[in-house]
Amino acid sequence: MKVKLKVWRQKNAATPGEFKLYETPDLNPNMSFLEMLDVVNEELTLKGEEPIAFDHDCREGICGTCSLVINGKPHGPHRGVATCQTYLRSFQDGDLIIVEPWRARPFPVVKDLVVTRKALDHIMQAGGFITVRTGAAPDANSIPIGKESADLAMDAAACIGCGACVAACKNASAMLFTAAKVSQLGLLPQGQPERYRRVKRMVEAMDEAGFGACTVTGSCEAVCPKNISLDFIARLNRDYLIASLKGDPKAA
């Protein structure tokens, strides 16, 4: 099969970008989307043209590095998968596929389809940690944790920090990401000492980074490759309200 690609090309954040049209050689429908870009880049290199810059690492839906908006939807047409798990069989022979980077002010373009997501790192640095001594691995079994809480914490911890929720949100909100990171620690006994301090500092860091407000449209949940639930945003809001009533977060 062959497809046409309309790809966003941009030298750097300070340079205006534009879409460029490319026609692919014959492709195997079982190729992943990133493998297809590899083939296109090989063709461009042989022609002496600049290859398309895009992010990738594990290519197994684990690292969260792949970050493409495909035909207007982060990660592509399917639900619960990352870009690297999107395959050409999802498209038809001769299709025009529009490929863009994440579109959000806190995610400035580095080059072409590559953006920097350091803003998410700043949110994590503000409170995504615990300070209690947790001991060695066998010691984890000495603290009983209810199955419901353990399952919820694991669901929240599934977030890979790709930023698709931000790219899909009309307000460029990072609430789903922040809620997942707050919840994965706040649901466990080891995360209780900083629970309310954590939520307040991480939300403040999110606001300082320039992410927009959450209006609960659900677009973030719809594009999340790990199907993180909006319920975690409700949990974050409850904890944030309590943290605000407590006053000084250092005393929480």
DSSP string, 39-103: HHHHHHHHTTPPPPP---SSSSSSS-----EETTEET-SSSS--GGG-BGGGS-TT-EEEEE---
Ranges of each domain in the chain: 4-111, 118-251
Position 248 scores a pLDDT of 54
Q: Does the 118-251 domain belong in CATH 1.10.3720.10?
A: no
With pLDDT > 90 as the criterion, what percentage of the chain qualifies? Answer: 90
Predicted confidence band of residue 250 (pLDDT cuts 50, 70, 90): low
CATH of 4-111, one of 3.40.50.300, 3.10.20.30, 2.40.110.10, 3.10.330.20: 3.10.20.30
Position 163 scores a pLDDT of 97
Q: What is the mean pLDDT of residues 132-140?
A: 76
The model carries a pTM of 0.93
